[in-house]
Amino acid sequence: MNFLATIIVNYNSEQLIQNRLEELNYIQTDIFIANNSNSDLVKLIDFNKSKNKIFFINNASNLGFGTAINHIIKKFNILSNYSFIQLLNPDCNLKTSYLQSIIIFLKNTNEKIILAPLLKDIEGNKYYGSFTRFPFIKSSHIKKKNFNYNKKFSWPTASCLFIKSPNGSHNIEFDEQFFMYWEDADLIQDLLKKQYSIINYYINDDEFFYHEPGRSSDININSRYVWHLQSQLIFIKKHCTKNFILKYIIFLKYFIKSLVDLDVSRMKIILNTFKELR
């Protein structure tokens, strides 16, 4: 069995992916790219600069994050052929020493783990992902002054994530109801039910990956609002059935923000989205 499969979803992020391929040269991994844009990867990415094997599929349209990963996993039978899966966003910069340390750690564990590396955002804040407990629907970075490396997290962000393959005991699959956003939180909940544990991998403050959220896509702000709202409502329906009031709180949050921005078109979109999914 091969050790590591790295999966990247592309949506107009070819230059960022070029950088990631070169950063991955310092470890041994097979790289799988799901191309959600209609770009020609062969023309836009110099695959010769990668020392690793690269495979890719061109999707006919933008399938969204989770669905694109599902297609890659099934097409190349990744769960049966690899011990670990790395989910990697194009906008997550990899530091060689930290990456190599993670690989050593993974090679010495047989546990069913989800390893979350330490990330820093553009403002220097450190985070692994959300630090609230379900069913609260809040995804927030932990500010540097309040950062607690031992705090239990509800879920780590899938901008960079290492997951132990199940070796046939069960499946790892994103729920394709989620087009974009919250699909990682949903997947983590599924894996936790299958006795996975989350590892917040910390060495010291100098070992981290740098994440630039939003660099990997250029998406209309109204589309972002709709996808965020849709995904949160789907998530609440699946995991927070006893907290029905949450969907109204989430709706008001987006609606009031649009009202403050005096964006009538966005208010209409949000209202229609809520009516469809409530």
Evaluate whether residue 189 is within a structural domain.
yes
Which of 11-15, 40-44, 100-104, 211-215 comes out lowest in average pLDDT? 211-215
- Which residues, 6 or more positions from 9, have their beta carbon under 8 angstroms from its beta carbon? 33, 34, 36, 65, 68, 69, 89, 90
The beta strands (E) that lie in the chain are given as 2-10, 30-35, 54-58, 82-88, 92-93, 113-117, 119-120, 126-127, 129-130, 155-156, 160-164, 197-201, 209-211
Please tell me whether residues 105 and 236 are part of one structural domain: no
Dist. CA 171–CA 231, nearest whole Å: 22
* The pLDDT of residue 73 is above 60: yes
pTM of the model: 0.84
Please tell me whether residues 206 and 230 are part of one structural domain: no
* The pLDDT of residue 140 is above 90: no
Evaluate whether residue 216 is within a structural domain.
no
Please tell me whether residues 16 and 106 are part of one structural domain: yes
Please tell me whether residues 187 and 242 are part of one structural domain: no
Q: What is the pLDDT of residue 38?
A: 83
Dist. CA 15–CA 261, nearest whole Å: 33
Over residues 186-236, the pLDDT tens digits come to 999 899 889 999 888 989 888 999 888 665 555 666 677 778 778 888 888
Residues in the chain: 278
CA dihedral 71, 76, 78, 82 (to 10 degrees): -160
Residue 251 has which token pair? 């709706």
Which of 41-55, 174-188, 215-229, 255-269 comes out lowest in average pLDDT? 215-229
Q: How many domains does the structure of the chain reveal?
A: 2
Please tell me whether residues 244 and 167 are part of one structural domain: no
Residue 248 has which token pair? 């109204």
Neighbours of 248 (CB within 10 A): 11
* The pLDDT of residue 95 is above 90: yes
Over residues 188-198, the pLDDT tens digits come to 989 988 999 98
Please tell me whether residues 98 and 143 are part of one structural domain: yes
Q: Residue 69 in contact with residue 92, Cβ under 8 Å?
A: no
Q: What is the pLDDT of residue 241?
A: 66
Please tell me whether residues 51 and 129 are part of one structural domain: yes
Please tell me whether residues 200 and 227 are part of one structural domain: no
More confident: 210 or 127: 210
- State the residue range of the domain holding 8: 2-211
End-to-end Cα spacing for the chain: 45
Please tell me whether residues 35 and 61 are part of one structural domain: yes
